[in-house]
Structures are given as C-alpha cells and as structure tokens.
Chains A and B, each alone.
Chain A
Amino acid sequence: MGKEGKEQKPKKAKNGFRTFMRFLQHVSLAVMALSIFVVVIGSTVRIQGFRSGGSYMLDSSDQNKEYEDSDLFGTIFGYAVADIIRYGVVSSQLETDGVFDGSKIVDVTAYNYRDVGLPEQYVTAEYHLEDLLKWANYGFEYTTTDMTEQQAGQFLSDRTRVTIIDPQSKYYNTSDANYLKSDIGSYTFVNDVSANQLWVENYDNSDPQEYDGFVEGYLSVGDNDQAVSATEEITLEVTEGDASYDSDYAPVYSHDILINRYKTAEEKNLEEYVSDWDLYYNLCENVENAAKSLSYNYNEYLEYGDYYSKENSNVRYLIAKTVGENTQFYSNLDGDEEENILEAMMGIGDITENGFASDKYIYYSPSEMVYRTNTSIEETTIRKILQEYDYAYPETVKIWIGVDTDYPVSDAFTQGAAGFRNYLPYFWQWIIVAIVAGILYLCLFIYQIIFTGRDVDANGEACIRLNAFDRIPTEAAALIAFGVAVLAVWILIVVLELADIHVLSLSYGEVVYEQWFKILLVAGTFAADIVVMFFFYSLVRRMRAKALWKNSYLRRLCCKLKEFAWKVYDNGNIVIRTWVPYGIFLFFNLMMVVWEIETAGSWLPVIVVLFVDAAVGILFYRDAKERQGIVEGIETIASGELEHQVEITNLHGDNLTLANSVNSIGKGIKDAVEISMKDERMKADLITNVSHDIKTPLTSIINYVDLIKREHVENEKVQNYIKVLDEKSQRLKQLTDDLVEASKISSGNISLNFERINVTELMNQTIGEFSEKFEQKNLTTVMNVNVQNSVIEADSRRIWRVMENLFNNIYKYAMTGTRVYVTIDSLQDNDDSIEISIKNISASALNCNPDELTERFIRGDVSRTTEGSGLGLSIAKNLTEAQKGTFEIRLDGDLFKVYLTFPLAK
C-alpha cells in the first residue's frame, strides 16, 4: 500500500499541475476577451446626441490632453454648435418672441423659395402655421373632377392675385425675405390690373389698403411659353365652341383639385387666388411642400428644445438676431446670465470675463467679423454651417455658445468625459494585457495539446490516459458536443436578445457599458472555453490514443457485420456460399437497373452499382488469390520443399480448410522423411564408430600375422594357416572400409565435388590401372568409343571408385581367358547423355536377380567364401546415382552387363 501511495503521489501532483495550467488557460482567454472588449468598447465613446448621436473613436493622441482640449470634446462641441444653429433656424420659423406661435401667418410660396430667393412677382396664399402643421399631419388629398371650360372658369377665380415685392422696400433682397409675415410685418399688394395685361405694370402702392393684388391673365414666373400656349389653346377652343357647338356639347376636362382642409388666413379657398390651372397646381404644390417642411422642422424644434434645454444639457447658447429694429433672442440661459452675455455681445462688457470665462465657448458676430473661442473649433466651421442657413441668419446675427464644464447634467459631454477618463489613460495597458493574455493562451493551448492525457502505464512506458468521457464512443461524444454547442448558441442568442446587442450591425445597446456586462462576458468566455476545450482535448486525446475510430459505434457495427458475414460464410455449405451471395448480387444489380430506369438520367444508381460490382470483383479476386496461394504452396511442397507451410492468416471458408489440410499433409511427409533420414544417419554413424573399434584390434592382428610370416616358419601347415590369417585379416579390413563407405553413401552423408570428366580418358586410365590384374587372369579388354564428345560432370574420385569397383568385380568373377568389352556410346533416344557399357562372362552361373546384385551384401556366389565385401556393386550404384547417372545390371546367361548413363556436360 505504502509503495502504491508513493507512486500515486507524483502522478497526482502532475495532474494537479495540468489542471492548474488548464485553469490558467481559461483565465487567460477570459482576460484576453475582457481586454479586447474594453479596447473595442472603451475606445468607442457613444454619444447620445440628437443628430450627433453615434460613436466616436478615441484617438491615442488625446492621451495626454485635458478632456476639454481633446478632439473628442471638440467633436462633441462641434456637433452641438451645428445643432444649436439649426435649432435657431427652426425656432425663428415657429416662434414669436421666444414662444411657439401657431397663429403665425405663413406665405407658402415665399417659404418654399426661402433659400433661393424670391422673384419680384409671385402668386401665393397665406395660411396660419398651425393649420399647415395639422394639414401636413393629416395629409393632402386631391379629388378628380370633370369640368367643362365654363365650369372650370367658374371654379377658379377670374383673376389671379399677384404679390409684388416693392424694390424700394428696405426689406427687399434681404435673405430673410417675407415668407413669414410675423417676422417681417410688412408686405405689398399689387392693385387690380386690366384683363389683358400679362405683366403688372405701373402699379401704385400709394394706397395699399385698396389694392387686393388680384390680376387677370397673370403668367407664372419662368413658365411663360407654356402659359401663353395654354391661353391660346383655350382661346381657340372657345372660338370653335362659339362657332360650331352648343355649350352642352362643350368638351369636358379632368382636373385634380386639392381639397381645402383649411382655409387661408383670409378665410379663402386656394382656387380663389388663381385664374389658371397651371398656377393653381403650382400653388397647391407650394402649399403642400411648405406644410411638409414645416411639419418636419416642428418635430426637430420639439426635440432640440428638449435636448438643449438647460435641464438636459450642459450647453448654453444665446443667439441674437436683429432684423430691422426687431431683435430676437434664442437662448436657454437664465435671466441674469442672459443679461451678462448680452452686454458682452453688444460690446459693453468683455465676453471672456463674463460668467462663463472659465468654461468653453464660442462667440461669432459676422457683421463685426468677430470670432472668439477657447476651443479647437475654427471660424470656417461656423461660417460653413451658417452659410447653409443664410436665409435665416442675417449678417447682424450674434451667436454665443458655451459649455458649462462643471457638467451639472448628464449629456453627451459627460458621456464623452466618462469614456475619456475611464479608458484613455489605460489604452496601451489594455492592449498589452490583451496581447500577453493571447500569447499565454496560445502557449497553454499548445502545451495542453502536447501533454493532455500523457501518462506512464504500469510498465513504465508512455501512454495516453483516457478519462471517462474519452471512453464514451466517438459518435455519442460528438452528439453530446453538438447538443452542448446548440445549447450554448441558444443561450448566447437569448443573452444577446436580452442585452439588445446586434452583433452583425455592430450596434450595441446601453448594456455593454454596464459593469455587470463585463462580468458576464468574462464568466461567459471562461465557461465557453472550459466547455470547448473539454471537448477539444478529448478529441486530441482520442486521436493520440488512436481511439477515434477504434472507439466508435461505426467501427463496432462494421466489425459485427463483418463477423456475422464471415460466420455465415464459414458455416454455410458450399452451395449456399456460392448461390446466396450470387443471388444477392444479381438482385441488387436488378434493383439498381430498375432504379436507373425510374430516375432516368441519374448517375447515382450507376455509381452505386459500380461500387458494389467493384467490391464483389475484389471479393472474387481475393478468393482466387487465396486459392492461388494454396496451389502454389502445394506445388512447392510437391517439388520437395517439405518445410513449406501455406500462409493461413486471412484465409476463410474452404480455402482455410484446404490450406490447413495441405499444411498437415506437408508436415506429415516432412516428419516421415526426417525420421527416415535420421535413422539412416544414425545407422551410418553407428557403422563408422563400430568400424573404428574394429580397426584397432585388426591392426594388431595384421601386424602380428606379418611378424609371424617374417619368422620363416618351416612348418608347411603353419605357413598355410598364416596365409589364411593374412588373407582373412586383409578382407576384414576391406569389409570395414566398404561398410563405412556404403552406409555413408546411402545416408546421403557425402559431399560431391563436380568437375568436367572425359569418360574416354577415364576408361583408358582405368583399364591401364587394371592391366596387370587382368593379365593375371588372362582377361583381354576391348574398348569401343562411338562418340566424339564424352565429357560429363562428375566427382573424379567417386567416379573412379565406381569404375574400380566394377573392374574389381570383373577381376574377381570373370571367367579366365575371356574378353571384357568396354563401350562408350550415345543414347539412342537422348543426345544429351552417354552410355558406358561393360560386359564380361561370369565364371560361375548367375542364378540371381540382377536387382539383388546391387543390394548390400549380395554376391554372385552365395557361399561368400571368395574375396570381396559384397558391397562393391551397391556402392557403385549408389555413387553413380549420386552423380546423376543411372546404373543398370543386365544378365544374359553368363553374360554380365553393366550399363552406366551420364548426362553430357553442357
């Protein structure tokens, strides 16, 4: 137990270290996410302005500046200035003496022409401001009416009312023209002029009260040609009507008529101001446009008023606009403050020493060419803004806009200040933290990939340790991971929805500025990393342990299917094994053909069929290959390589049985041969050993017989005995030598040294060697050579031994005085071999089987009294065969014939 405990300890420490590293990894990712979030969100200051609402990227160049000197402040202030100027414009349109005035009278045409300037003469109508605003809210409706020329004449006024601007008027040509009666308070009417006049001339404005401005045949400005032609046409039609048609048959025209929801300030309808359709439509259009524009401005007016009220904004402004003797003020200042500023504006006091000296401000007076500010906003910026509204701001305007840098209320400036002060001083720190955390995360990630699951098994070898989750089959794990991912995405969607964040449009709700959102982000990132890495490292461990495929349901299924298929295949009989797969194959192909017909033109069935047919082909090929392997194995065994075993791994069914049978047969044969070889070798060894043991005493016998011979014994009898002893001892010697030789040859225990042998030469040498012996028995040798080439391959000493034995045989058993025939001939049916035949006449009758003669210890004379071991022919035959020759003895009466054949050397 103690030992185990000791072994466990470092392992636990290692696991603890890894867990800590894992924790550190998650933490570093969370830190990185937080830093990136802070950098992205913090660097973008969100300003909740009216028109200036939006994001502003903090610039690191602002880092060492005061907030009030930064670009951010400048930008916010710039937007505020633009807003205030705009607000001044709409205020002037809608207010009278600083209060909204719904009863204000609006000259619609003049209003529409406010920024391009009015012509000298124009047609217009005047409405109360509130009527126009309401009308714009409800919408302008037209009705289509069919009218004859006459009815039209009755509908429209018979005269057009024209407004003529008096060139002598001191208001004429000012940008602040007379579209707002309340602003100007002065207008001119043109008196009635004669019906045929196209242009009002010589009007008299000495009595403006009598002049109502109505003229006949007035042409709309800039539309002269059209108006003239229209007039001509009308005239023509009237003429024709007078000449040919009754008034009942007068032509009917369709006209779109504006429904007069509200009457003009004079309680008139619009059609009462014009005598011409074109003018009428122009007027309608002017009314509609003016109403819509005013309505839009009214909305702006309300919003600006609220946004830049003293209660909601740190911005203070005062605009003094002087038109004629009238000076109008637009301001959100308190009375006292207003007084101070006003004094400064009028040049009584110094603008920088009043009330807001320490605050940020701009002061601009175009008429005096004075521009003062303690901000970064330049004069040209103001001038450009003012240019857009030159109709609303006369040169005499004076603008003062300031910011209370005590920031008593929360607005865009305080938001900017918060972003600026909270974030900018730590800009680089956050970026460095993000980078460091990112690098740390990457390192730990790689570390974990390399070391996750690495462990040492019981044998001290490195292995991959899998935890409980890793042992869950791959598909199940993947499913769990998928489920978790779906859940996480769902949670994310819900959270984003709740926080009102739209990731794609990059617009974040207010919540991203909340502290709890950061905590949520950190916690969320941390949790997400834990979950993702849990699955990811599991995947890594599986791959490292090579368990990804091994531990999958798919593989188990495949294995089961394979096992089942082989089981059926191996256990079925051969007919089933052939027909069932063939039937399935055929049926499958048929199905695919049907499918192909059904889904004409689809490639899918063809591809499937190709795959399956290829698989079947491979199966057949494998089967055939297995069989081929077995056949080759059988051939190898048959050719003598008894050790050969057919490879049985990967074999199935019949092939396996076949291979096993072949292997056991081969093994049986091999064993039998080995036993027989072993026996033969043992026999040879035994004979060799015995012969050694015989030789030693035999040496003494021979030596002492010889010594006795040397004693010159006189006794004739003793001399005979000695002679017998001598002969028999010599024979015994020969016998032992031959015995050893014969046993060695038959046990295959000799090594042959093949060389080229000329048989003719060999026979001559042999005959020469035996010439003396043959002479003793009066034997004559007759040699015939009938071949040119008699070179064979043989072991020279062994083939001499064959010849020696054969000639010794002849010497011993041939009849005295006969001839010995030695013939060298080519084989009749084989040119590649030669035949040596040796013939002699036996002294005694040969009453035995020729085959027996070559058996060991068989001799021509059964009595065994003569010289010789009885092994000569046996040795000769065995040696001949060992040298790839054949050895045959034929007996023909007393004629003893030996035939030797050898293949010729190549």
Chain B
Amino acid sequence: MANILVCDDDKEIVDAIEIYLLQEGYTIYKAYDGEQAIKVLKEQQIHLLLIDIMMPKLDGIHATLKIREYSSIPIIFLSAKSEDSDKILGLNIGADDYITKPFNPLELVARVKSNLRRYTTLGNLNTENNALFQVGGLCINDDTKEVTVDGESVKLTPIEYNILLLLVKNCGRVFSIDQIYESIWNEEAIGADNTVAVHIRHIREKIEINPKEPRYLKVVWGVGYKVEKQ
C-alpha cells in the first residue's frame, strides 16, 4: 500500500490520523514541522503528504513550495484556517486538497483515498469510448449505466442518473430547476417545485465526499445546478 507522511505540530492529531489511516492499511510516516517533513520525503518514498499550515521552523506553505520543486505527490493541507482566502492560497501554491480543522475523520480518509487513486491508478483512462463521460474522478459509462467516483461504483436511481448525465454531458453549464425538469421528465415545468432540488441533494450525498462542500455537483444558489469542469 501507499506510504503517507503526516505532518502536524500537534502530536495528538498526528497520532489520531495515524490510527485512522493504519486501519485503511497505509504505511504512516510522521513529522512535526516542515523541515522534518522535507527530510522524511528525501529519505523515504512517500505517496501522499498531509501537512498542517501553521507549524514551527518551516510552515506548511513554504514546505509545500519547496517540495513542489522536485515532487508531484498529492499534498493535502490540514489547517484550522478556514477562510476562503486561505483555501485559495493553499490550492494555488500547489496543494491538491484542503481540509479544515476540526475535520471529520471519515472525510479525511475518503479524501486521502481519492487523491491517492487520482495519483496512482487514474489519469491514463481511455476516453475514446463515446459513451464514457469523465469529470475529474467522476466517471459515467452510458453503455453500462455505471457511475464511478474515484473508481468506486455508485448506485443511482434512473432519474438521478439522468440528471447527473445531463449535467456531466454539459459540463460547466448551469441548468435551472425548470430546465432540468423539462429535460428529464419531458414535461413542461409547472411553476415552482423542489422535486429536482431534492434529487440533486440525493445525488450529491451519493457522489460527494462532503455534500456541503461538493467537488462535482455544485449548487449555483438562486440560478441552478452544474457540474464543474475539472
């Protein structure tokens, strides 16, 4: 299995993360500041780095900048800084994901898995198949009506599948509730209805790691829904 380096100046958090990840079968290396992390990275073959931002000696941002000079391994920030600006900064300097403290352990594990899959197995997918639609880790095979997220199969109802297919096919475009309703049900949308909104929420709960911060199916509040291009 993969080697994961966890770096945080709070030892208890590192230990807790180790427990979760060990359960998933990963090999864990630990570091308590940026310099240690870089040192470990040089000595060991590491497949994924979980790193805190606010640390002594060398903070997460600068450590990431240095690591990115020679390595392309997935890096996930783990920070108490929850401002949008912090997230944007982190992602822009080279991190692949950003998890705010306090985090849900399951979400953390799911994100780690997802990033590892993207790094190790996916990325060389055959896209020649016309019936195959892919957005990031989300993959829809229209022939087999099969939906996978980061390689894991997801079970959707026919309506949910059709809605997701519509949005993935028109990736980036925003659909209003009425438009979705008319395309899927082939009926004229009569006034306001929250049916579509409910279905969307269900889809999100199935395909997203954290439905409140969706990666794929995004709500454009007051306008409609879309699947983000990746």
Binding site for B on A (CB under 8 A): 692, 695-696, 698-704, 706-707, 729, 733, 737, 740, 755-769, 771-772, 781, 783, 785, 794, 796-797, 799-800
Contacts and interface: CB of A to CB of B under 8 A. Distances in A.
Given A699-B80, A702-B102, A703-B16, A761 B10 contact: no
Contacts of A699: 10, 13, 80, 101-103
A435 to B, nearest CB: 85
Contacts of B201: 768-769, 771-772
Contact of B12 (A692, A704, A769, A794): A704
B220 interface: yes
Nearest to A695: B80
B221 A797 contact: yes
Contacts of A729: 102
Contacts of A698: 101-102
B69 to A, nearest CB: 29
Nearest to B196: A768
9 contacts: A698-B102, A703-B105, A758-B176, A759-B222, A760-B192, A761-B222, A767-B194, A768-B198, A796-B223
A243 B58 CA distance: 173
B177 interface: yes
B131 interface: no
B223 A737 contact: no
B166 interface: no
Given A737-B82, A765-B219, A799-B222, A696 B10 contact: yes
B16 A761 contact: no
Q: Which of A700, A701, A733 neighbours the largest number of chain B CB atoms within 10 Å of its CB?
A: A700
Contacts of A794: 222
A702 B105 CA distance: 9
Contacts of A762: 221-222
B205 to A, nearest CB: 9
Contacts of A765: 177, 194, 197, 219, 221-222
Given A702-B102, A706-B105, A696 B80 contact: yes
- Chain A contact residues, majority secondary structure: helix
Interface in B82-132: 82, 101-103, 105
Contacts of B221: 757, 762, 765, 796-797, 799-800
A702 B199 CA distance: 31
Contacts of A771: 194, 197-198, 201
B80 A700 contact: no
A729 B201 CA distance: 26
A783 B80 contact: no
B229 interface: no
Contact of B222 (A707, A733, A758, A768): A758
A717 B112 CA distance: 34
B101 to A, nearest CB: 4
Interface string B208-228: 000000000001111110000
Given A699-B102, A702-B103, A765-B194, 19 more contacts: A692-B80, A696-B10, A699-B10, A699-B13, A700-B12, A700-B13, A703-B103, A756-B223, A757-B221, A757-B223, A759-B222, A765-B219, A765-B222, A768-B196, A768-B201, A769-B197, A781-B194, A796-B222, A799-B221
Bin the interface of chain B by size.
Answer: 20 to 34
Contacts of B5: none
Contact of A785 (B81, B192, B200, B219): B192
Q: Which of B177, B191, B221 neighbours the largest number of chain A CB atoms within 10 Å of its CB?
A: B221
Contact of A768 (B13, B20, B82, B200): B200
A759 B102 CA distance: 33
B24 interface: no
B201 to A, nearest CB: 6
B193 interface: yes
B105 A761 contact: no
A794 B54 CA distance: 34
Contacts, number: 110
Q: Which of A699, A700, A733, A762 neighbours the largest number of chain B CB atoms within 10 Å of its CB?
A: A699
A703 B13 contact: yes
A431 B194 CA distance: 116
B102 A768 contact: no
A889 to B, nearest CB: 22
Nearest to B200: A768
Interface of B: 10, 12-13, 16-17, 19-20, 54, 80-82, 101-103, 105, 176-177, 191-201, 219-224
A128 to B, nearest CB: 146
A-B pairs, 9 with minimum CB distance: A768-B197, A757-B222, A762-B222, A703-B16, A695-B80, A699-B102, A796-B221, A800-B221, A768-B194
Contacts of A692: 54, 80-81
Contacts of B198: 768, 771
B55 to A, nearest CB: 11
B16 A700 contact: yes
Nearest to A769: B201
A799 B12 CA distance: 38
A811 to B, nearest CB: 14
B224 A761 contact: yes
A232 B192 CA distance: 157
Nearest to A794: B222
Nearest to A797: B221
Nearest to B195: A768
Nearest to B108: A703
B101 A696 contact: yes
A709 to B, nearest CB: 10
A146 B54 CA distance: 156
B16 A707 contact: yes
A800 B82 CA distance: 18
Contact of B16 (A704, A760, A797, A800): A704
A772 B198 CA distance: 8
Contacts of A701: 102
A202 to B, nearest CB: 162
B10 A700 contact: yes
Contacts of B222: 756-759, 761-762, 765, 794, 796, 799-800
Contacts of A769: 197, 201, 219
Contacts of B17: 703
Nearest to A798: B221
Contacts of A695: 80, 82, 101-102
A783 B193 CA distance: 9
Contacts of B196: 764, 768
B80 A764 contact: no
B194 A764 contact: yes
A405 to B, nearest CB: 121
Contacts of B13: 696, 699-700, 703
Nearest to A803: B221
B109 to A, nearest CB: 11
B192 A783 contact: yes
Contacts of B176: 758, 761
A785 B193 CA distance: 11
B119 to A, nearest CB: 25
Contacts of B80: 692, 695-696, 699
Contacts of B81: 692
Contacts of A761: 176-177, 222-224
A707 B223 contact: no
B11 to A, nearest CB: 9
B102 A796 contact: no
A7 B162 CA distance: 97
Nearest to A795: B221
A595 B28 CA distance: 113
Given A704-B16, A771-B201, A763 B177 contact: no
A781 B12 CA distance: 45
Contacts of A760: 192
A705 B201 CA distance: 29
A758 B197 contact: no
A706 B102 CA distance: 12
Contacts of A766: 197
A768 B211 CA distance: 14
Nearest to A762: B222
Contacts of B12: 700, 703-704
